[in-house]
Amino acid sequence: MLALPLTGVATAVDIGDAKEGHFSNKKEVGSRLAGLALNDLYEKKSLCRSPQYAAHKIVGDKIIITLEHADGLRSRTPEIKGFAIRAENGPWLWADDVRLNGSTVEVRAHAIKTPAAVRYGWAINPILSLENKNRLPLRPFRTDREEGALR
């Protein structure tokens, strides 16, 4: 749907409640949606989109992820979490080395020498630790296409 003109998505996964199907902070969701409308329909330009996956490449034992809408990319938490990596047909392991470099993220799990895929925030109640300068969270993504969620 996002390929259609004048469409957008406001991430709300970071303001939800693991025990409740609906989020209680509806004002924040409304603010995020209003930002998209003001930017896209009324041309009041702003950083209204969450950072999102654009591309990745595998270099040695790490995966380098390029993001869009990542101005001022930073961690919300003391330690960057929420990334999982796997080798081809191997188990998913939590990344133990995550580094930010502008709008790219380098991800590594030292136990995996030849990574094949990475996921971020791929769970029912995900850990989201990255945001842009407007405090909008990195949208969950995955580079693989297999079924099932990381638990």
Q: What is the pLDDT of residues 120-142, one digit of tens each?
A: 999 888 889 999 999 999 999 99
pTM confidence score? 0.88
Would the pLDDT of 25 be above 90? no
112 to 1, 27, 43, 56, 122: CA distances (angstroms): 35, 42, 46, 17, 19
Spatial contact of 56 and 63, defined as CB atoms under 8 Å apart: yes
User: In the prediction, which pLDDT does 148 show?
Assistant: 55
* Identity of the residue numbered 32: R
Tokens 């790490």, located at residue: 62
51 to 27, 77, 123, 139, 150: CA distances (angstroms): 20, 16, 18, 6, 21
User: In the prediction, which pLDDT does 6 show?
Assistant: 82
